[in-house]
Structure 1
């Protein structure tokens, strides 16, 4: 009987996988590579090795979860292709967990007195732009995911009334703009994690919040921009 939840985190340069037990959400193992552009060549290897190293087989998978985005366009597509392939082959459900709520969940889980903060994960979207959202400690969404061009007045209303904990690859850009605001707290070294993703995915599995495997697409937040090669134009 399938008993495992496999989680794939590919929204950032980190390529990470985790296994949780479907019965109780217990973490069985995790693996990650912090090598840029490693997803296409290493994701399936990490999956196979993690499953084997925990004494299981792919046939033991009961569901696959993946990072839904926003994040790296290429990474999200690679993760989606791998997750959908496994779900089709094994006839098991697919779960998608947003990168931003997973980051907020991770930060809250490692913060003393977590209910004293709001959580604002920020992913670098180049220049002064970030992908961001705002959450309470229990995961309640207070500001939906958006792409935001940062300035000194960003999130001023929330910072005027609450202590807000910022984390993620884009947070450093905002720290330079609001470094004198005592309500702005910055937590370093919080990166997308397959373990945090799996914890939220396990809860979603209990609620049977499954995706349509055939039609699922990642949540890019912004349009994917493509260009036509000059040789084609000519």
Structure 2
């Protein structure tokens, strides 16, 4: 049996899923405004293993959502995943966060555009077809009235960045799924298992999250 622990912390959603041969056994997650990843992540990992009567030694690999997303969230998730892989001597699998988000929506045709909020009118985006194949790479994109106008197919928006588009992208071809706000480890399970079977893994020592943009620290005025 191939047990993979899947960790998704790129957004406000702190999410952990356990899979067996690509099938979801359990998923625990919580999305809080204050980013509770540091407090919740290891608790969720311990609970999900105990509930399924497994130990860390039963794990075949760890899968991590690689970004783009929150700098702090990604650091917490990746640090935990790397620490577990190193101590257990098991492989680390990295998965595109925007693909994870896109896979939350099933459509028969059209284009899926996952959007992760990147402040103001900027979003981290990529473009996927109805089979969840990426057709345009990840960008940090400033959204305006001309965005995605070259696409003639129906466009489905998902993610916490999508609501900021509603007032300016109003054509009938734009469809908003407000109920799909954050990526989840639940959608990582099949991707991770497929990567595991192909030995599509990353170097535990040198892997870093895909931030896309440099971390910016602001200092409050007194």
Give the structure-1-normalised TM-score: 0.89
**How many Å separate the matches in 2 of 1:138 and 1:202?**
18
Partner residue, 2:167: 176
Please list every run of at least 4 consecutive aligned residues from structure 1 whose deviation after the TM superposition is greater than 4 angstroms: 227-230
Partner residue, 1:6: 5
Partner residue, 1:105: 103
Aligned-pair RMSD on alpha carbons?
1.6
**How many Å separate the matches in 2 of 1:140 and 1:192?**
17
**How many Å separate the matches in 2 of 1:227 and 1:106?**
33
Pair 1:119-2:112 in alignment: yes
Unmatched 5+ stretches in structure 1: 109-113
Q: How many residues align?
A: 219
Partner residue, 1:81: 79
Partner residue, 1:198: 189
Partner residue, 2:215: 224
Structure of higher CA gyration radius = 1
Pair 1:146-2:147 in alignment: no
- The answer to whether the 8 Å contact 1:17/1:194 transfers is yes
Question: Which of 130, 138, 142 in structure 2 is aligned with 1:137?
Answer: 130
Partner residue, 2:63: 65
**How many Å separate the matches in 1 of 2:125 and 2:48?**
31
Change (3 A) 1:26 1:178: same
Structure richer in helix, relative to its length: 1
**How many Å separate the matches in 1 of 2:2 and 2:102?**
27
- Per-residue CA deviation, residues 42-72 of structure 1 (Å, 9 max, x unaligned), is 1111101100011111110100001100111
Partner residue, 1:186: 176
